Amino acid sequence: MASLGTLPEHRVSQPRVTVQVTAPADFMFSIIHDLMNKRARILGIHTAGADVQVTAAVSEAALIDYAGRLHAITAGQGSYTVTAEPSGE
């Protein structure tokens, strides 16, 4: 009889998306902190004038409430776009 410790581990992968957040640079660390709490992988940080653009890969499920969260973090001054990551299949 096999013990539970010898069963193969199966992980269900969640759909991943790329999110690009644009906001005033003053909010950069709060945005990055929030994305990291969602287990995002930061892909890039770029400045554009007084704004910062943070690009990250994150699970689609983690962004369900992101519009309200970003509004709260940036006092309504942030925006974001989401694009699907190509599947590795």
Task: Let me know: does 40 contact 58? Beta carbons within 8 Å.
Answer: yes
Structure tokens at 36: 């990291």
Contacts of 43 (CB under 8 A, 6+ apart): 18, 55, 56, 57
Residue 62: pLDDT over 70? yes
Number of domains within the chain: 1
Structure tokens at 48: 């554009």
Cα separation, 42 vs 2, whole angstroms: 40
Higher pLDDT, 48 or 53: 53
Range of the domain at 58: 14-84
Residue 54: pLDDT over 80? yes
Instruction: For residue 57, count other CB atoms closer than 10 A to its CB.
Output: 15
Contacts of 79 (CB under 8 A, 6+ apart): 21, 22, 23, 70
Residue 78: pLDDT over 80? yes
Residue 3: predicted pLDDT: 57
Whether residue 6 is contained in a domain is answered as no
Q: What is the pTM of this model?
A: 0.80
User: Which CATH number does the domain housing residue 48 bear?
Assistant: 3.30.70.240
